[in-house]
Amino acid sequence: MQLAFCLYKYFPYGGLQRTFLRIALACQARGHAVRVYTLDWSGEVPEGFEIVLVPVTALTNIRRYQKFAAWVTDDLRARPVDRVVGFNKMPGLDVYYAGDPCYEDKARTLRNPFYRLSARYRHFAAAERAVFAPPSQTRLLMISRVQQTLFEKYYGTPPERFHMLPPGIARDRRAPSDAPRIRAEFRTEFGLADDDLLLLQIGSDFKRKGLDRSLQALANLPEELRQRARLIAIGQDKPDAFLRRADMLGVVGQISILPGRDDIPRFLLGADVFLHPAYHEAAGAVLLEALVAGLPVLCTAICGYAHYIVEADGGLVIPEPFAQATMDGLLQRMLQNGEERRRWQANALAFAETADIYSRAERAADFILMEQG
């Protein structure tokens, strides 16, 4: 088959982008041709991929996305393919990978009513409706049953169009046999003493991932713990506002904000607690990446994959509605109790041995390539 994959932007460190690449490579490995439509590609191009950089410009991102969809539609009409797979919502998709949460729900529950008069709302609501409304024939790859329920609520999407995927965690995130050596070398490199406590947060879009909440929780720790704690945040985003916030809170000397990088497993092995107090998160593969590395997790219940933390007994979940004081207390508990952290670590490593959390790309490829009835 000739397959077309559509996403607005590719860069190596985004969760959605990494999932796209694994699925596209899984399809290619079965002998199918891959064409990718995107506005921007950063990083290496896999051998055999046809990358189409869509040549549209506009003063706003919204207008650019609209032009992107129209240009891709025209090009597909001239150069047809067997399947069109989207990782952003747009009309004309045969398959959509639902990596983003329900936009209509966010617009109605987290914004004031006037937001729905904006051009931004009109664009994203129309794009979501084109994918999920009953007249659409787009088949849906889901990663969260909570999100499926929301799409059914707002659009009445027929349930037979949904297909639930398991997580797709890269096996290189699992703790290797020499994890203690890697941890020791990492902590020496970053100047961490044996009794220092490293908090780790990973994910682009710092605002949505709740980095402000993590900074506040660090600042609110009891003095003895706060003096021993450091926070490293990693992601493709602008750090300036968060550095200013950390300075205002008096913890700027205890944090590092790093751009996306390739050696994430070292950080997972070197840290003591993984933080993910996201405001919105359809799934949160990074939660499972931390688990399989044996790193205890503290996340918000809003995360689609928060239930895995409970099932594995590999950390704690901050209940909804979120309260900063609750997060502060849970983080303090995790940092004060080394024995409990070691128990969570052992539970997480045991979970990594048996759970079906590695096969998303293969299962997605099965679905994309199956005959449509």
What are 6-15's pLDDT values in tens digits? 999 999 988 8
Q: What CATH number is given for 171-354 in this structure?
A: 3.40.50.2000
If one counts every other C-beta atom within 10 angstroms of the C-beta of residue 186, the result is: 19
Token pair 């290496």 in the structure block, residue: 44
pLDDT tens-digit series, residues 279-309: 999 889 999 999 999 999 999 999 999 999 9
Confidence of residue 373 (pLDDT cuts 50, 70, 90): low
- Strand 50-53 vs strand 33-38: parallel, antiparallel, or unpaired? parallel
> What does the domain layout of the chain look like in residue ranges?
2-166+358-369, 171-354
**Count of residues in the chain:** 373
Asked whether the beta carbons of 27 and 107 are under 8 A apart, the reply is no
Please determine, for residue 157, whether its predicted confidence score (pLDDT) is greater than 60. yes
* Helices within 250-356 (DSSP H only): 264-270, 285-292, 306-312, 324-336, 338-354
**Would 2-166+358-369 and 171-354 be classified into the same CATH topology?**
yes
Over the chain, what is the mean pLDDT?
96
Report whether pLDDT(96) > 60.
yes
The C-alpha atoms of residue 240 and residue 237 are separated, in whole angstroms, by 9
pLDDT reading at 4 higher than 70: yes
Quick one: CA torsion of 155, 152, 142, 61, rounded to 10 degrees?
Answer: 30
**Phi/psi of residue 97, nearest 5 degrees:** -90, 115
pLDDT digits 0-9 by tens, 210-247 = 999 999 999 999 999 999 999 999 998 999 999 999 99
Per-residue pLDDT tens digits for 262-286:
999 999 999 999 999 999 998 899 9
Q: Is residue 172 over pLDDT 90?
A: no
pTM: 0.81
d(CA 78, CA 41): 23
Q: Is the pLDDT of residue 344 over 80?
A: yes
Strand spans (E) along the chain: 2-6, 9-10, 33-38, 40-41, 50-53, 83-86, 95-97, 139-142, 162-164, 197-202, 229-234, 255-258, 273-276, 297-300, 315-318
Distance separating alpha carbons of residues 352 and 294, to the nearest angstrom = 9
Assign domain 2-166+358-369 to its CATH superfamily: Glycogen Phosphorylase B; (3.40.50.2000)
Q: DSSP H helical segments within 222-323, as ranges? A: 223-228, 240-249, 264-270, 285-292, 306-312
